[in-house]
Amino acid sequence: MKLHRVALVSFTLTLLLVGLAVVTNVVPYRQIVEQKRQVAEAAAELAALQEENAILTARRDALQTPVEIERLAREKLGYVRPGEIAYVVLDPPESPTTTIPAEEEEPVEDESLLEEVWDFVTGADLVK
């Protein structure tokens, strides 16, 4: 009987120690998972920034070539080479609109039936 009790106490202590080890390792495990997620997000952001940097570097390098400088000068500043003729295409002027403004009507006041009858009796409806 004593051996059985000792085994039960040993098993309980072992189970308690394993449970304690699991509980104490759960918090660091969550931190490790969160840090891995942050590292993955930072890596994705780094990759996007490196791609944008490569595009900007290519644009910078292209802007330093004589061909690109000439293209921009022609496009933005209207430069032409000697002997060339520059044409400027203008938008046609807007045609004036010939709309006749509608005559403004005086707002008709809604009169009650009693006022209309009184105006009829007094002749005020003829004056309006």
Q: pLDDT tens digits for 70-84?
A: 998 888 888 888 998
User: 105 in helix, strand or coil?
Assistant: coil
Residue at token pair 């009507």:
105
Residue 85 has a pLDDT of 87
CA atoms 59, 62, 63, 67: torsion sign? negative
Cβ atoms of 81 and 74 within 8 Å: the answer is: no
Give yes or no for residue 121 having a pLDDT over 90.
no
34-53 b/e (C-beta count within 10 Å ≥ 16 → b): eeeeeeeeeeeeeeeeeeee
Residue 87 has a pLDDT of 84
The average confidence (pLDDT) of the chain is 83
Residue 108 has a pLDDT of 61
What is the per-residue pLDDT across 88-104, written as a single tens digit (0 to 9) for each?
888 888 876 666 666 66
In 40-113 the beta strands, taken as DSSP E runs, fall at: none
Residue 109 has a pLDDT of 64
Which range among 50-54, 63-67, 105-109 shows the weakest confidence by mean pLDDT? 105-109
Degrees (nearest 5) of the Cα angle 42, 44, 49?
90
Tokens of 3: 């051996």
- State mean pLDDT over 42-52: 97
Residue 118 has a pLDDT of 85
Confidence grade of residue 105 (pLDDT, cut at 50, 70, 90): low
